[in-house]
Structure 1
């Protein structure tokens, strides 16, 4: 499970959308709780040759070429090898970064 805490009041006014919506999740003004589904991930062109675009991504689109600043605090209960959660910037399935 990953828990993401949102500190900005502006975020409560923004509309977010799921890409690969998980079965179990909740959100309020300060917290997103996500229980990830099994076998979900984001990987591109790995050394081993596999690619994945099945991970959960809760996002807000920004039109055009905009600069922005974001601060996040991620606390997770990572129980299994490769469990992770964090921040992702994404243009499409071939152009993204996660940290």
Structure 2
């Protein structure tokens, strides 16, 4: 285990235990498509339940379902990380408008 992982703690200690896995399964059953891909006019299964606003250990925010969104793994690992680092969501929707909801044209 790396020093970073030791400081961060285990997934279970951060809230990602059995209760989360069950809630995640239920959420993905109800929201089966990646919201980032949908904005681009693509249909891609969601495999990750992402916290829209990073919870940073705040359990109320962690469990607030209105703060969840379904993403495919590539969108979670690439696009969402880019957004969290202050970047923009690449691409456009089916109408040619920017996929990034914070773009000045949106």
Q: What's the TM-score once normalised by structure 1's chain length? A: 0.26
Q: Give the number of the structure whose alpha-carbon radius of gyration is greater.
A: 2
